[in-house]
Amino acid sequence: MGSSHSALNFGAGPAKLPREVLTEVQNEFLSYKDSGMSLIEMSHRSKEYEAINNSAQQLVRELLDVPPNYKILFMQGGGLGCFSAICMNLMGRTGEADYLVTGTWSSIAAKEAAKYGKVNMVFPRPETRSIPHPRTWKLSENASFVFYCDNETVDGVEFNYVPETRGVPLVADMSSNIMTKKVDVSKYGIIFAGAQKNIGPSGVVLVIVREDLLGNASKYCPTVFDFAHISKNNSVHHTPTTFSVYVMEKVLQWIKRCGGVDKMAQNSYDKSTTLYNAITNSNNFYVCPIEESCRSRINIPFRVGGANGDDALESKFLEEAEKLRMYQLKGHRSVGGIRASLYNATSVEDVKLLVQFMEEFRKQHGPK
């Protein structure tokens, strides 16, 4: 089996990076632009890093068509840190917020938010395999913001529309599907995404925030989480994760060269359709438990050996996949089964090789 990589990495994150980018980083690692120094040795206030920082911001603005009244920030603390940062910057306006819980990460976000104010659960009960119809939602009258996770990495649930919030600022965690589809940024108050799935390595979080939401941080908000302060200082008030931003800038350049977000969206459709077709046509040997209308294009969970899964078969599946250098296919510990993450750096050819293996495995271990 051949591929764009010697090994196929279907991990949920940190995830596969484009080989082209890794080669560029390797070539520049010891001496960035013939400086005799590695980028990781340079000051975050150097002209070299300033150029990288500004280029990365401009690329985000260009690729996502970010309106001029939005600021682009590069922060630390991961998505989990952003769960708190959002509250410390926005919740003080009314002391409460609405949360759409559709899986693991939105559930964690809601629990974190409860430390800072009142959390209104929009759904009567948390969902992990479907998204309730908007007519059943119970949005509050006094929310400072409405939070949701656009794509649940663990559970494999993805929104295919933008939630309507009746004018309340909408906050979206797009950590696992940023740059995989066109986004109307103007419909959001804040979009944030950990880089380590689609746009770079771990260590940096992209935050896109509407200007009118800046300047409302609570008095106990740490400076490193104060969006207005980070914006005012161009994301370099303190030492940022310079190497992560450097690699992210290269990934953004790669996305642009490949055809931008439109091309990434087409690839995502092709990859997910290929895998879902294999699951659907397996005569229930492979089963995806997620409601079809909200199945993720990016993180696809499935069971082997029927709807409830067969532990022995799933272990065998993972064992044989690794022999073919297909890695990180094990489902999250809270869900079980198998999960294939199809981020931007994963090619259509990679997914076809996975499907080829799945079909061979079914022939060998499925009903005769």
What's the number of domains the chain is made of?
2
Q: 128 falls in which pLDDT band (50, 70, 90)?
A: confident
Same-domain status, 47 and 181:
yes
Query: Do 335 and 233 belong to one domain?
Result: no
Any catalytic annotation for residue 105?
Answer: yes
What is the number of residues in the chain?
Answer: 368
Tell me, yes or no, whether 267 and 229 share the same domain: no
Annotated catalytic residue, options 98, 155, 173, 350? 173
Q: Is 204 within a domain? A: yes
190 and 226, same domain (yes or no): yes
Distances (CA, A) of 41 to 29, 237, 250: 10, 18, 18
DSSP-based three-state secondary structure for 178: coil
Angle at 199 between CA 225 and CA 79, to 5 degrees: 30
The pLDDT value given to residue 2: 40
Tens of pLDDT, residues 89-101: 999 999 999 999 9
Position 125 scores a pLDDT of 78
- The string of pLDDT tens digits covering residues 270-309 is 999 999 999 999 999 999 999 999 999 999 999 999 999 9
pLDDT at 3: 44
130 pLDDT above the threshold of 50: yes
- Residue 127 is part of which domain span? 21-257
Angle at 11 between CA 7 and CA 14, to 5 degrees: 105
Q: Do 243 and 302 fall into the same domain?
A: no
Q: Specify if 96 maps to a domain.
A: yes
Is residue 10 in some structural domain?
Answer: no
Q: What's the CATH number where 276 sits?
A: 3.90.1150.10
Token pair belonging to 93:
């306006």
Q: Is residue 4 part of a domain?
A: no
pLDDT value of position 355: 99
Verify whether residue 173 is a known catalytic residue.
yes
Question: Are 34 and 165 within one domain?
Answer: yes
Can you give the CATH number for the domain in which 69 is found?
3.40.640.10
How far is Cα 341 from Cα 354, in angstroms, rounded to an integer?
A: 11
Could you say which of 194, 229, 257 is where a domain stops? 257
Q: Which of 16, 71, 105, 155 is catalytic?
A: 105
Higher local confidence (pLDDT), 42 or 1: 42
What are the pLDDT digits (tens) for 160-176?
A: 999 999 999 999 999 99
Rounded to the nearest 10 degrees, how much is the dihedral formed by the CA atoms of 196, 269, 337, 197? Answer: 0
Residue 236 pLDDT grade (very low, low, confident, very high; cuts 50, 70, 90): very high
pTM of the model: 0.96
Residues 32 and 156 in one domain: yes
Number of other CB atoms surrounding residue 46 within 10 Å: 16
The identity of residue 91, as a single letter, is M
> Do the domain assignments include residue 87?
yes
The answer to whether 243 and 200 have CB atoms below 8 angstroms apart is no
97 assigned to some structural domain: yes
Kindly write down the DSSP assignment for every residue of 240-281, as one continuous string: --HHHHHHHHHHHHHHHHHTHHHHHHHHHHHHHHHHHHHHHT
9: number of Cβ within 10 Å: 19
Asked whether residue 303 is domain-assigned, the answer is yes
Same domain, 54 and 192: yes
The answer to whether residues 55 and 249 touch, using CB atoms and an 8 Å cutoff, is: yes
Q: What is the mean pLDDT of residues 25-47?
A: 96
Q: Which two tokens stand for residue 36?
A: 């005799």
Could you tell me the two tokens for 92?
Answer: 């003080």
The answer on 179 and 88 residing in a single domain is yes
pLDDT at 254 over 50: yes
2 within a domain of the structure (yes/no):
no
- Decide if 33 is catalytic: no
My answer on whether 78 and 50 are in the same domain is yes
- Choose the catalytic residue: 16, 71, 181, 197: 197
Query: In the chain, what is the straight-line distance between the N-terminal and C-terminal CA atoms, in Å?
Result: 26
